[in-house]
Structures are given as structure tokens and as C-alpha cells.
A and B are shown apart, each in its own frame.
Chain A
Amino acid sequence: MKNHTRRSLLRGTSVALGLPFLASCRQSSIATAAPLSNSTSTKPPLRAAFIYFPNGVWEKSWIPENTGPDYTLSPTLQPLAEVRQHTLVLTGLDKKHSHGGDGHYAKTANFLTGMPVAKTTGKNISSGGISIDQLIAQYTSQFTPLPSLELGTEPVISGIDSNVGYTRLYGSHISWQSPSRPVAREINPRLVYERLFSRRLAGQTAKAAEFQNLLDFVLEDASQLRGKLGRDDQFKLDEYLDSVRAVERRIEFASKPRPAGWEPGSPAETQPPAPGIPADFREHITLMLDLLVLAFRTDSTRVASMMFANDVSGRNFSFVDGVTGSHHELSHHENNAAKISQYEAINRWHVAQFAQLLKKLRDIPEGDGSLLDHCMILFGSSISDGNRHDPDNLPILLGGSGGGSIPVGQHIASKGHTPLCNLYTSILDRMQVPVEQFGDSTGRLL
């Protein structure tokens, strides 16, 4: 059957759909390349998450005074006390392509691409490259029902910033499937849960067959239509085609038995979150992070990104003791002591959420250790001091030892302008993504 043949062909390719956009990373040609992990291995696989928080930090309270394993936790990093042996504190990292442009958009859209952001209010939107999470997904998606997970808490920022000449959507996207294609985020915890456990798409066999017929039908519509369009319009339709294929693949994945070998945790005992978006931001964050844990524990995906909030977020943080104001407003502290102490308290609240996440991952046994031992959770912001909007000396934490391959439990201060992307190449190595170079990387940090 014609349809069937085409689908079989697609099955093998969806993983590699993003490859033509690899302009920002050079494929490895040396022996650092690792084989793609074998799904029949009995060892738990590695997972990677990239968590962003907006508006930078007060550096003086963030950066620990000394380095190495015996470093002293800085005031802002106090919440890490219980998980410090699982955490790497990284300072002195820089994003060289973010030194120009405006204070936010040119820094956030490329947080995970490390390439220059195009200054535009809409035409030729570009984050410069594929983001690290999406690159990893190209290699790990074959083993999991979801290629990747993109989480947020707020809708995409509407409008353009005519003052600085950027579309505000740059401030809402860190995951880019290609330089010109941001990946939409899910902000509703209930929908994340339903996506993870296929309630909506592949719950029943009869429905799955129906859906597959529908998708076959519209794929043909789209292919015919594509031929009648101009070039730019074809690109827009390609996004649709790729999405149809991704859903097809997903439905097929659900219909197949999981390969023998490593057995992930079961979601059985987990209650779905209530519908809708929680009114309390703290609850929203907790739910989203719990879902991230659940996704990794059940091996629903091996890579995820999450934005605590959009860039320039003016969220009111008066729920934190000692804070009476909003995030972006206080990040412009103007060296005013009263504002700085509030800004610092907001930073500390963020670190505490990260520490909570690490504790949850640590408390889940997996293989010879814990789920956290098989994770690399990056946590950071795209600028250092919110008052200056500098993209150097970025606040970056890495939780989880990546299967014992990362020297956690210390503070590493890099010198000069060490690219943040040097950390990304180290993470890519461990995720067995064969690249020699990524973004503006000049080598390996770890």
C-alpha cells in the first residue's frame, strides 16, 4: 500500500529531521564520538534538562568566594547545602554572541544555541542555531515516546518591542528546532501530564488507527499543497509536515512493546494535576518540576527544557519574605541596597526550587544509584547582573553527575571569556551526540 510505504520511510527519518540545520555545530570527526546508546542495555540512560530563569542575579551574593571541592556556599546558593555534593557551581562562563543587541532578547533566545540572535521584529527570525536540547533530542528521540519536553509557565509574550527593535517572542523561547523555528512550550500542567501518558492520542488501539488514517490523509493534502506554494510559504508548510510526522511516530511508538532491557519507573501511582493553570506561581513551578521528574523517571523523554518565566518577567514576588515588588523591576536594582536585598531573595528562591528538584531526583532509586546520578540538570540565566544585562560570568549550576562522569560537588571558576558552549559540548559528549563543536564552543569544559 502506498501510504504504508511512505510511512515506513518516514519512520526511519524523523529522528534526523533537524540535521540540515546543524550549521552551528560541526560534526565530530575524531574519536570523541560515542556510539548511540543501545536501548537494550540494562543500565539506565542519561537524561539532560536545561532550566532557565529570567533577569539575572546579584553576582556578589551568587559567586562563591573560593573554588574547588571545599568552596563556601555563597548567600544566594545556601539552599544547595543539602545537595551540594551533587551540584557543580560554574562561574566565569560567557556568551560571546550576546554582547551586542538589546539587554534581554538577544541574550535569551540564544541561551541554548550560543549563536547570534537576528535583530528583527518578525522578518527572518533567527536564534542563530539549533538549541542543545533539540540537538540531543535528534539522537535520543528514537528510544522514547516523546522526543523532548518543552515547559514554561507563561504564554508567549505578545507584541514587538519597537524601542529596541525585537519581537518579544524571543524572550519566550530557548528551545529551537532550527535557527528559524522555535518550539512551542506547554504551560498547562494537566496537558503535560496527558501528553506524557498518551491519554489523548494513543490511549485506545481503535482511536490510534483512526488517527493514523487521518494523518495519512492530511499528509497527502500537505504534500500536494506544498507543490503549489512559493518558497517561503513552503517552509511554513514544512513545519506542519514535520509535526504530522512527529505525531505519527508517537502513535506508532505507543503501539509497540518496549524493548527488553532497562525497565523505567511506572507512572501508575501518580495522580494527574488538576485542570487549568494554578493561580499560585509556587504551586505552578512545583507541578511543572514534578512533571519533569516524572517524565525522566518513566523514560518518556530524555531531554527537556523549562523556562521558570519569560524574560523581562514582571511577576510580583511579594510572596517571598522581604520582597515587595516585581522581578524585572527589582533586577534593575540601580545599586540601591534595599532593592538588591530583594533581588537577591528572589534569586535565592529560584535556587531553592532547583535544590528541591535535585532532592526529588536524588530520592528516586535507579540502577545502582539514584535518578539524579543519571541526569545532567543545567540551571541558569542568560545574563549576569540584571542591572547591567551582561552576558558574561553567567550564573550556571549543573546538578547530577551524568552517570558519574561529572566532577560534581565543587565550584569551578573559569578564566577569561570561557564559552558557556564549552559546557554544552561536554554535556553533548555524555549524551553521546557526536559533535566536535557547538555554538561558539572552543573546547570542552569538563
Chain B
Amino acid sequence: MSRGRGCTQANRYRTATIAFLAIGLACSLFVATGGSLAADELEAKVARWKSDYDSRVLPIIRERCLPCHNGEKAEGELNLARFSTGDKAWEAADAWERVARRIRLNEMPPQGSPGLNDQQKGAFQRWVDNRPNQDLCRQLASEDTQSWYRGYVMSRRLTRIEYRNAIRDLLGITPSASELPPEDGAGGEGFDTVGDSLFTSTIHLEAWLVLADQLIDRALPEDSAGKPVPNATLSEIAPPAAWPQIQGGTPDQQTAAAIELIRQFARRAWRRPPESSEIDRLTRLFQTSLQQTTLTNALRQPLKAILVSPHFLFVVETEPNETGIFPLTPHQLATRLALFLWSSIPDEQLLSVADSGMLVDENEYRNQISRMLADPKSAALGENFGLQWLGLRNFENIRPDPQLFPEFTAELASDLREEAVQMVTSVFRDNRPLSDLLSSDVVIVNGRLAAHYGLPLPPAADWQKIAVTDGRRGGVATLGAVLTAASYPRRTSPVLRGRWLLDELLGNPVPPPPPGVPPLEQATPENAHLTLRQRLEAHRLKPECAACHDRMDPLGFGLENFDPIGRWREQDGELPIDAAGKLPSGEQFSGPAELKSILLSRQHDFLNHLSRKLLGFALGRELNKFDACIVETAVKRLHKEGLQSRVLIEEIACSYPFRNRYYKKSEPTPPPPESRSTRLFNALRKFAEKSEAVRKQNEAAKQPVTPPQP
């Protein structure tokens, strides 16, 4: 890599001790900062930027923005009154990018309010563009760099999908949806990989326990002679010589081979070489069981224990007992990489590379990334990242009206979902340009879906890529699943679809309607004859509505040729479809093909947003200002290298926060209160018992309530 970022730092820690590392890191930080801007030069720039705010920008804001964006109940929850000085404006440096973009696109101030003149616009934009750059690429949020920092959870349990995939890779058996623990919610940038929003309840543990029990029994059945016979996947985990010895060796050979099986299984499941004390405990479990049950069943016990252990179920990144930023160990890094690209645990090859220490070698690390993306398991990028990003995770819960749309069968729903998975997967697996996600001449469909879309393919045809030329299909915005999810059960909604494009695709969220705004589609006797489009247009005449609906509605109308289940249509009932739109920027378009050109012209917003999303997914946390640099660098490199998806994956996997972790030494908290709360509980109970007599007296004194008559 040319910029000295990312992977090169890794070479250092092959021989280094932890203490040395800390110093090494500090040095590299120093060098990096020195390379970009000398400290005093930066300071001067910042001072100039602040004074420009006071003299040039603040007057504009006072005149044009503060009437609405003022105080605690400010429009769009953006209170610009807070930034009363250059110093305060500097503290919120990130917010200005958003403000500038809205002004640039003529979205703000909204239609009906006095806008900025060209001179004011120019002054504002220049000021934002001149924001002095800090080098944030080699920093992490920590208590030194962010005063509010409270640490973030990285030690978390596996998500439902990660657990399913890990079991599949370990045992060759994929648990069914109804066997798995419940679905997970999301946090951070909107993904379930965020530790803060992953919780463990009793029903999780019950599912893990029952599955470990049933699946190990299935993967390691007993033959008629009472010998354990592993299935294909399990037999590959222990060395080839081990199984014959377990099945027919002397007791000593048997024990030795069993230990070897336990060691290898624990290594794979726990993503690291198990410690000898851990092997000893697992072996004891085997040997104790052997006294009570059959050989096969005794052998199963340690394997089950391995799958119920927190070492398997939790992504644990233990650290040296010091405060500071430390690189992940090779095994921790391998796990993060496998969770990122496969939503699963490392395979044998990745684990061996981690064992050998070679994973810190830049070339080897990149080789592994390439190999893993080519592996079928990278379909997880589509299924896990893709569906969450597109808001389709719960697609099976979307039920269009069965009377209006009897065609929407469970099979069709599953095809629509699968198409979304395959589209995202193929962009990453085939190293396609990310712009394919906005617009593409290729769709991936099977026969049933092709019929739904009106594409020529025999009904029984399997999944395949076919070329489309009319611009109607291709890209995520015209995925049947997206169009269905952003509709009501019985009709389309240009507002919902427009909101989806802005929010999920361009990263430009629309605030909820402010209280007191008249409802959107209010039908009165006077306007009952109006079409939805006309009523929306009337609604947009009010400035407080226009601010958002001018952005959402036209985009959504561009998709009106798709019915509520994503089929092409020229008419809605009696009326011909009008798929024309005009954006606040003045751009005009009609229909999906031209809409996609508009989206492509905002490719930069899209790339920024997608990069943020993928980084948030990979890191499993909310992004902060230090992460902006990763996104910026990735987008720059994407533009240079033809938007190839591999670039984004590499930039994230090589990024500083992906490979390092902030660790805060803390006094260990006592384990969940046992004795203390027991004492409290018992005291409470005693007290309650004592007061029984009093209660009875009170009861007797009370007016009795008549019991209900049966």
C-alpha cells in the first residue's frame, strides 16, 4: 500500500513483546501526524477556520437557518443555535458536512423559505471545504481522545446467523430456523453484530444446549458394534490416525487419540489453540463419563461442552492487563476476519496461518481475504450484511394483501429475498464495481422470478445471470424485495420508497414529521377527486412539509411503474402511471432508468454511506469521528480503482480500528451479586414474614370485596 496505512503496521508485532508494541504504536502515530501537517501549522489553520466561521458563516446561519433550527425543539433535531462561536463550530465539525450537502442540493432552506443566494452558498461551501484535516486514520476512540468515551463492547455472543454458520462449518449440519435461538435486534450502524445490542436470555442457552446435544449425537453416531463413527466433517477435524485408535486401539492409545480429537475440535470451535489446563478439564469430562456410559457417549461429552462453552459462543478478545491500544492477536484477527467475510468462524487454513503467525504479513493477509471472498461462504456478505443494510432482514414478515396479490406465495417471497442476497454477494465475490448496486445491466433470477418480472426464461430455470437493457431492472433500488418492503400491503407508497432511497441508499435520512404538521393525505370533500400525486403536491406547498417531501416524493414516484409486489405496470387501475419527478436541485427525470442515472450522479454519497455501513457491520459498533478517515480513504481509493468492491473490503479489513482494540484496565467487578443479594432477599423475606400478622389485621379491617359471580 502506498500511503503507509493499514496493513504495513502489522509486520511489527511478529517478534515484539506487548510492552515494545505500545511504544512502537506511539511512534508510528507520531510519524503519521508529522507526515501530514506540523502541529503549529495545523493550529494556525484551525484558528483561521474558526475566525472565518465568526465573520462569514455565522451571519448566514443567523439570517437563514436559525428561524427554524433553534432551541431544543429545532427542526430535524438540528439546533444550530448551539454553534454561537467558531470554537463551538469546530467541536461539531462533523455536522457541517451534512448541512453543506443539504444546502448544495437546494434542499435547505426548504421551498417557501428564503434561500441562500449564490454568494452565501459559495462562502459556506468554501468554509466547509477548508476544514483543516486531522489525521484520524491511525487513532481509535479512547479516553484520551474522546472525553465521553465509555468503552464499547466487543466481547459479545455470536449472532444467530454466526452461530448457525459456525455449527455448519464444524459439524456439517445446518440447524433449521426453528431450532435456532431467537432473532437478534440491531444497534450501532444498524447491524446485529453490535455487542451493545446483543443480549443473552435463558432461551438462548436452552437452544444452545439442546442443539449441542442433538447435533453432536448426529455428527458422531454409534455403529452396530458400539463404536463411534464420525460424519465426514467431524472425521476431518481430528488427525486421520486418531479415529482407528479411538475405535480399536488399546486404552492408552484410545485416550491419547481422544485427547487429540478434543484438542482439534476445541481449537476449531474456539478459534485458538486451547490451553493445556483446558484440555485437561475436557479430558477429565471424557474419562469421568467413560465410567458411567458408553465410549461413544463419553466421547460426545467434551465435544458438547466445547459447543456450550463461552469460548465458542462468545467472541472474546482478552487483552493484557493494561490500559491502552493494542493490536489483536493473530487468532483474534482471524476471527474478526471470518466473522466479517463469512459470518462464521475461521476454517482450518485461516487458523493455520494464524497459528504460524503469518497472518500479520501483509501479503498473506490479503491472500487470505481474496481466498475467503472466492469461497462460497462469502455468500454471508449478501445474506447477513446485505439484507440488514437493505432493511430486508425480516422480509418473510412482509405480507402483501393475499386477496389482491394471490401471486405473492411463500416461494416467490423466498425467491425475492434470495435475489437480494445473490445480487450483493456477486458484487463482492466477483469484485464488481460497487456502482452495480445502483444500476446494472445484469439481474440474477430463476424461472419463477423471471416470470414475475416479465423476463424471458423457462419456468423451471435455475438461478442465473441474464442481461437486461431497458434499465427497468438491475441494482438494489429495483429489487422486487425492496419495492415490496417499501409498499403498503395493498398499494405502493412513493413516500416510503423515496424515504428508502434517501435513507438506506444515499445515507441522507429524513427526520420524522414535526408535531402539528397537517397530515399528508388528508382527504376532504374538496380534494376527494385528487390523485395521490396531486394531494402530495398540495401538501408540499407548505414549507414545513416541503423540506422533506420535496426530497422523498419525486424519487419515490420514479418507481411508480412497479406495483406493490415489484411487478412492472403501465397503469394503476384506470390511470396511466406517471413516473416523472423533479428534485429540489432542479434535476428532472421519468421512470426507473432515469432515476438510476440520478442515483449514479450521487454515487459519492452512496459510496460514503455503503462504506460506513460495511465498516459498522465489520467493527460491530457505532462509528465515531475517528472512523470517518477510514471511510474517506476507502472512497478515494475506490474512485481511483474503478469502484472495485475488493478495495472497500481490503480498506476495512486492513484499517486500524479493525486490527486494534482499545482496552481499559478496570478493577474486576464482583461476579453477579450472589451472597449480597441473597442476604438482602432473605432479610426481605424475614421482614415480610414478620409483618404477616399486621397484614392479616389490616385485611380483616378492610371492606371485603365481593368475589365475582360465576
Chain A contacts for B308, CB-based, 8 A: 214-215, 217-218
A314 touches B301 (CB 8 A): no
Known: A122-B197, A324-B490. A220 touches B281 (CB 8 A): yes
B153 touches A232 (CB 8 A): yes
Contact with A along B675-691 (1 / 0, CB 8 A): 11110110011011101
Closest to B183 in A: A155
Q: In the assembly, what is the distance between CA of A88 and CA of B619, in Å?
A: 50
Known: A123-B152, A163-B510. A244 touches B205 (CB 8 A): yes
B301 touches A239 (CB 8 A): no
Looking at chain B's contact residues, is the secondary structure mostly helix, strand, loop, or mixed?
Answer: loop
B707 touches A163 (CB 8 A): no
A225 touches B209 (CB 8 A): no
Asked if B313 is an interface residue, CB under 8 A from chain A, the answer is yes
Asked if A222 is an interface residue, CB under 8 A from chain B, the answer is yes
Known: A154-B397, A335-B519. A240 touches B314 (CB 8 A): yes
Q: In the assembly, what is the distance between CA of A279 and CA of B674, in Å?
A: 44
B314 touches A237 (CB 8 A): yes
B688 touches A247 (CB 8 A): no
A236 touches B153 (CB 8 A): yes
**Which among A159, A172, A243, A329 is the interface contact of B201 at CB below 8 angstroms?**
A243
Chain B contacts for A325, CB-based, 8 A: 488-490
**Which among A164, A187, A221, A276 is the interface contact of B182 at CB below 8 angstroms?**
A187
- Scan residues 670-710 of chain B and give those whose CB is less than 8 A from a CB of chain A: 671-678, 680-681, 684-685, 687-689, 691-692, 694-695, 698, 705-710
Contact with B along A156-185 (1 / 0, CB 8 A): 111110111101110010000100011111
Asked if B25 is an interface residue, CB under 8 A from chain A, the answer is no
Chain A interface, number of residues (Cβ within 8 angstroms):
122
Q: In the assembly, what is the distance between CA of A408 and CA of B706, in Å?
A: 9
B666 touches A231 (CB 8 A): yes
Chain B contacts for A246, CB-based, 8 A: 202, 205
Interface stretch of the complex, out of B188-196, B471-479, B625-633: B188-196
A90 to chain B, nearest CB (A): 16
**Which among B199, B510, B622, B681 is the interface contact of A181 at CB below 8 angstroms?**
B199
**Which among A35, A217, A406 is the interface contact of B281 at CB below 8 angstroms?**
A217
B305 touches A233 (CB 8 A): no
Q: In the assembly, what is the distance between CA of A147 and CA of B201, in Å?
A: 12
Interface stretch of the complex, out of A5-13, A59-67, A253-261: A5-13
Asked if A86 is an interface residue, CB under 8 A from chain B, the answer is yes
A19 touches B672 (CB 8 A): no
Asked if B4 is an interface residue, CB under 8 A from chain A, the answer is no
Contact with A along B66-104 (1 / 0, CB 8 A): 000000000001000000000000000000000000000
Q: In the assembly, what is the distance between CA of A201 and CA of B212, in Å?
A: 12
**Which among A177, A182, A277, A326 is the interface contact of B489 at CB below 8 angstroms?**
A326
In this complex, which of A9, A16, A236, A239 has the most chain B Cβ atoms within 10 angstroms of its Cβ? A236
B488 touches A167 (CB 8 A): no
Known: A225-B311, A231-B666. A239 touches B708 (CB 8 A): no
B213 to chain A, nearest CB (A): 7
Known: A35-B692, A155-B397. A184 touches B186 (CB 8 A): no
Asked if B464 is an interface residue, CB under 8 A from chain A, the answer is no
- Scan residues 43-89 of chain A and give those whose CB is less than 8 A from a CB of chain B: 85-86
A370 touches B203 (CB 8 A): no
Q: In the assembly, what is the distance between CA of A434 and CA of B691, in Å?
A: 11
Closest to A211 in B: B209
Contact with A along B124-151 (1 / 0, CB 8 A): 0000000000000000000000000011
B497 to chain A, nearest CB (A): 14
Q: In the assembly, what is the distance between CA of A207 and CA of B196, in Å?
A: 35
Chain B contacts for A370, CB-based, 8 A: 710
**Number of cross-chain contacts by CB at 8 Å:** 323
Interface stretch of the complex, out of B111-119, B154-162, B420-428, B587-595: B154-162
**Which among B181, B192, B691 is the interface contact of A35 at CB below 8 angstroms?**
B691
B409 to chain A, nearest CB (A): 11
Chain A contacts for B185, CB-based, 8 A: 156-158, 167-169, 172
Asked if B523 is an interface residue, CB under 8 A from chain A, the answer is yes
Known: A217-B285, A225-B310, A247-B205. A231 touches B186 (CB 8 A): no
- Scan residues 194-233 of chain B and give those whose CB is less than 8 A from a CB of chain A: 194-206, 209-210, 212-213
**Which among A186, A230, A239, A242 is the interface contact of B203 at CB below 8 angstroms?**
A186
In this complex, which of A218, A231, A276 has the most chain B Cβ atoms within 10 angstroms of its Cβ? A218
Known: A158-B192, A230-B664, A242-B672. A236 touches B677 (CB 8 A): no
Q: In the assembly, what is the distance between CA of A433 and CA of B91, in Å?
A: 49
B2 to chain A, nearest CB (A): 35
Q: In the assembly, what is the distance between CA of A160 and CA of B188, in Å?
A: 8
B403 touches A318 (CB 8 A): yes
Interface stretch of the complex, out of B328-336, B387-395, B432-440, B644-652: B387-395
A35 touches B689 (CB 8 A): yes
Interface stretch of the complex, out of A188-196, A286-294, A376-384, A412-420: A188-196
Q: In the assembly, what is the distance between CA of A129 and CA of B474, in Å?
A: 48
- Scan residues 606-637 of chain B and give those whose CB is less than 8 A from a CB of chain A: 621-622
Closest to B153 in A: A232
A247 touches B521 (CB 8 A): no
> What are 22 contact pairs spanning A and B, CB under 8 A?
A33-B695, A35-B695, A86-B708, A120-B187, A121-B622, A124-B196, A158-B192, A158-B391, A160-B187, A169-B186, A177-B201, A195-B203, A233-B153, A233-B195, A236-B314, A242-B202, A243-B202, A316-B399, A369-B710, A401-B708, A406-B705, A409-B708
Closest 8 A/B residue pairs (Cβ): A122-B187, A169-B185, A404-B707, A334-B519, A155-B183, A158-B393, A233-B155, A316-B489
